[in-house]
Amino acid sequence: MKIKKLSLRVRIFIAMILLVLLSSILIAVVANYNYDKEAQDYNKDRLDRKEKAIISHLDIVIRETTYPVTTENVPLIFRNKIQEVAEVHNIQINLYDLEGGLLISSKSDLKPELSSRCLDAEVLNTLLNTFKHRFEEKRIKGDDTYRSSYNYITDQKFKNLAILNLPYLEKDDFLAKELQAFIERLTYTTLFVLLFAVALAFFVSKYITKSLQTISEKMSSTRLEKRNKKIEIGDTSEEISMLVKSYNSMIDELEESAVQLATSEREQAWREMAKQVAHEIKNPLTPMRLTVQSFQRKFNPLDENIHQKLDEYSKTLIQQIDTMSAIAGAFSNFAKMPAQKNETLNVVEIVDLALDIFNENYITFHSDKKEIIATFDRTQLIRVVTNLVKNAIQSISEGHTPKIVVNVFEENDNVNITVLDNGVGISEENKPKIFEPKFTTKTSGMGLGLPMVKNIVETYKGTITFVSQKGEGTTFTVAFPKK
């Protein structure tokens, strides 16, 4: 899953949790390093202190001995004292001659083969050639770590007498326990901080995204064809304020563009309407003109059939006048904006009433309830139903068993009316034009029925949609809120 696809709230959650975890891991690493360094310094300092104390103790033994103070007499000088000194300082003591051979050791059970063991040349060279004449080495055997220090002990004239070796086993159990206790406390603290970070991330992300969500909702509901409200947010960050300011500026520009577009569209619509009206009126005027001219040319008052011919001419003129009247009525109905009347009515009853004007026995009506109450205009609802049913009737081709089903049902807080037919259907190329004024696929009519239905439904905050398949039929669905 890519991080870019995550929401801002999830990103904040992840960032806060990772910050806590990384900081805790870093603290643990630093603490472990610090304790390790502290353990090394502690053991080194402890060995140095023991070495100084033992050298001082051995100097006292040398001053009090009755034997001549020589390297060869070292085993005699310290024969009775080296064990006592080792027990006092709780450390093993080995004394070597200046050539590296073992002279005496506080460890009584030292194996014979170790007694003949000599010091490495590296130890002897380091002791001899360094300024402090001291050498320290560190060795690891299994789980134990040993430090060994090598230093000279001198006689009263500061002449090198022997080499003092102190093998020291590092014991840092208390430091390890302290480190373990610290890690445990750190773990509990991390868990507590992690829970706190989750809670904090929840509230912080909610606070940050609240403003963004408000802006997102406003932007989603922004439409060119309606008046959009500006965003009003109180105290917020500078970035959010700039975003809100930009959105509000865009709304102002959008309203100006909408006004210009509406004006342009209105002018274009009136031009198209004028062309359509002129075209529709010219159609009946031509036969009327021809009829009058024929009557004028052939009029003979002495003709015995004059009354019959006059009657035929009159019927032709009246028929064309009725056609012009129907055209005027259709454009008049389309031009009227439905007035929103808050009538509380039973939609099932009104739809059933609207279907009574049709005599076709292939029209059936269904509803899952006898009563669905909604707020709508009674006249406009009847007009919607009758136009959809008329459109369905006209779509059925000859030689085909007609079927029209009208259904009314509830869906959430909406009332749905569906009109299904098994007509010729709507082609893919005509689907985008179906609600355009003056568009029609019929030989008669002016293509104003469906645009008028759409106008009425949208006035009541509803929608009209359709599903159609060429040669199988069409289903129109009208949905509008109950209140």
Confidence check: pLDDT of 408 > 90: yes
The C-alpha atoms of residue 449 and residue 436 are separated, in whole angstroms, by: 10
CA atoms within 13 A on the CB side of 5: 2
Q: What is the pLDDT of residue 405?
A: 94
Q: Which residues pair with 135 in a beta bridge?
A: 150
Q: What's the rounded mean pLDDT across residues 113-128? A: 71
CA–CA separation, 75 and 102 (whole Å):
10
Tens-digit pLDDT profile for residues 202-234: 777 777 666 666 666 666 666 655 566 666 666
Residue 306: which pLDDT band, with cuts at 50, 70 and 90?
Answer: confident
Q: Which CATH class is domain 238-335?
A: mainly alpha
Q: Where are the domains of the chain?
A: 3-176, 238-335, 344-481
Distances (CA, A) of 442 to 12, 196, 336: 60, 71, 24
* pLDDT for 38: 73
For the 3-176 domain, the top CATH level (class) is alpha beta
Question: pLDDT > 70: what percent of the chain?
Answer: 70
Distance CA 216, CA 45 (A): 67
**Beta 134-141 vs 463-469: how paired, if at all?**
unpaired
Q: Smallest Cα–Cα separation from 418: which of 481, 346, 476, 351?
A: 476
User: 148 falls in which pLDDT band (50, 70, 90)?
Assistant: confident
Residue 44: exposure state from Cβ atoms within 10 A (0-12, 13-18, ≥19): middle
First to last CA, the chain: 44
Q: Do domains 3-176 and 344-481 have the same CATH topology?
A: no
Cα–Cα dist 438/330, whole Å: 11
State mean pLDDT over 257-273: 66
What values do phi and psi take at 323, rounded to 5? -60, -45
Query: Which tokens belong to 483?
Result: 């209140």
With 60 as the cut, is the pLDDT of residue 463 above it? yes
The string of DSSP letters for 22-36 reads HHHHHHHHHHHHHHH
How would you classify residue 473: left for phi > 0, otherwise alpha for psi between -120 and 50, otherwise beta? left
- Three-state DSSP at 390 gives helix
Note the CATH architecture for domain 344-481: 2-Layer Sandwich (3.30)
